[in-house]
Amino acid sequence: MARIVQKYGGTSVGSVEKINNVANRIQMAVENGDELIVVTSAMGKSTDQLVQLAADITDVPSKREMDMLLSTGEQVTISLLTMALQQRGLEAISFTGGQAGMMTEDRHGNARIKSIETTRIEEQLQAGKVVVVAGFQGVTTDGSITTLGRGGSDTTAVALAAATKANRCEIYTDVTGVFTTDPRYVKKARKLQAISYDEMLEMANLGAGVLHPRAVEFAKNYEVPLMVASSMSMETGTMIEEEVSVEKNLVVRGIAFENDVTKVTVAGLPNHLDTLPKLFSVLSKHGVNVDIIIQNQNDQHVNISFSITQCSLKETVACLEQAKQELNYESLYHEGELAKVSIVGSGMISNPGVAARMFEALAENDIFIKMVSTSEIKVSAVVAEDDMVMAVEALHDTFRLDEVLEDEQVKQLA
């Protein structure tokens, strides 16, 4: 017998037919002798509909009341799924996040999990029941309902797997696993049999939307084996684990990308020790998240360029202009319609020359690189948004990600 946490996303439970399909999968696992905790998201686009209802009432809804409202979406799903399981003769019970013991910090809209009291879940599992838990939500110590922010149901599932010492956590979605890149853009994209926590965390942070970074981080910290698979087929998914046991020889394991990137340059800053702390303190105080940073300087002046999301440009410019006298810069300008393309792979550590091969591939396709960022297992390049797909395809071909390579072939790529 294995204890398994299964999580089903909104597309997997978007209709009665799909809920019945999920119930059939759960029944198969139970008949196989497994203990199941099932975490669900809200049905399809129901969260968007709830947000719109609030917008029809007020332009500035209370964050507390938004959490009260949005948490109802998952409660609808857990009730319907539990009914479907009971209709099949299975013992099942549904819990809200609070009823499942999910305790969070007192922060509405994007709360973090502080602890999980698993007594009620354990009691129901011991009684032979499937426990169905609402994802995306928890409660504070005073009983206020909170939500966990984007990707919250993934985080709920991984946290429950860690707290209940489950054998693994299975994330079911509308894709069959983690691919070398987004198959909607690159037809040659190949599903990976496995990927490491670190590689998946980089991919998630760099724009791959299969898993939320917080969930991957939780899995890594508590060594929870993850599997990503499709709820629509029985095809084997992708395992996410500490050390990849298959396809070990891949130097680059995947390519992530995201658009709507903007480059901001603050020119003519004084070349003083406190210039950087002052500049980024101003941005931090206004909640501006900065990604890639480039500095150019001479004896008198410093030019600082950094990348942000397009949606934060207005606020970024406003706070910098407001602080112009304090920062004492000469000019401020920005360039939009950019994208970030990143290669990711733990094999880069032991294979020098990977970055050079990436830059050569982009140059061969007349793609100009505007900014670069690196870590031990990734290299990111900012390019024109119009060149994004071409860049991804070129890199996918360069590192032959559509193939499973032998060791000698891998050496030839570095």
Q: Is 21 helix (H, G, I), strand (E, B) or coil?
A: helix
Q: What is the pLDDT of residue 409?
A: 47
| Mean pLDDT computed over 41-57 | 94
Kindly report the average pLDDT of the chain as a whole number: 92
**pLDDT, position 246:** 63
Across the strands, what pairs with 59? none
Q: Considering only the top CATH level, what class is 3-174?
A: alpha beta
pLDDT of res. 247:
65
Give Cα 291 to chain centroid, integer Å.
Answer: 16
Q: Domain ranges in the chain? A: 3-174, 245-414
Q: Are strands 130-134 and 371-375 parallel, antiparallel or unpaired?
A: unpaired
- At 187-201, the pLDDT tens digits run 999 999 999 999 999
| Residue linked to tokens 């319609």 | 337
Lowest-confidence segment of 73-77, 245-249, 344-348, 390-394 by average pLDDT: 245-249
> To the nearest whole percent, how much of the chain has pLDDT over 90?
84
pLDDT confidence tier of residue 410, bands split at 50, 70 and 90: very low
Superfamily of 245-414 according to CATH: VC0802-like (3.30.2130.10)
Report phi then psi at 185, rounded to 5. -105, -35
Question: Residue 63: which pLDDT band, with cuts at 50, 70 and 90?
Answer: very high
pLDDT of residue 248: 65
Tell me what percent of the residues of the chain surpass a pLDDT of 70. Answer: 96
Residue 389: closest CA among 358, 367, 374, 413: 367
CA-based Rg of the chain, rounded to a whole angstrom?
24
The helix, strand and coil proportions of the chain, stated in percent and rounded to the nearest 5, come to 40, 25, 35
- For residue 31, which of 40, 39, 23, 19 has the smallest C-alpha distance? 23
Question: pLDDT tens digits, residue range 134-193?
Answer: 999 999 999 999 999 888 999 999 999 999 999 999 999 988 999 999 998 999 999 999
d(CA 279, CA 274): 9
pLDDT of 25 over the 70 cut: yes
**Mean pLDDT of the 393-404 span:** 91
pLDDT at 259: 93
User: 57-71, 88-102, 210-224: which has the minimum mean pLDDT?
Assistant: 210-224
Q: 94: helix, coil or strand?
A: strand
Residues 6+ apart with CB under 8 A from 182: 189, 208, 257, 392
In this predicted structure, what is the pLDDT of residue 408? 45
- What own/partner pairs with CB < 8 Å and gap ≥ 24 does 358-361 have? 358/395, 358/398, 361/394, 361/395, 361/397, 361/398
Q: What is the pLDDT of residue 287?
A: 87
Backbone phi and psi for residue 289, each to the nearest 5 degrees, phi listed first = -90, 120
Query: What whole-number distance in Å separates Cα of residue 245 and Cα of residue 167?
Result: 17
- The string of pLDDT tens digits covering residues 270-306 is 999 999 999 999 999 998 999 999 999 888 899 999 9
Same fold flag, 3-174 and 245-414: no
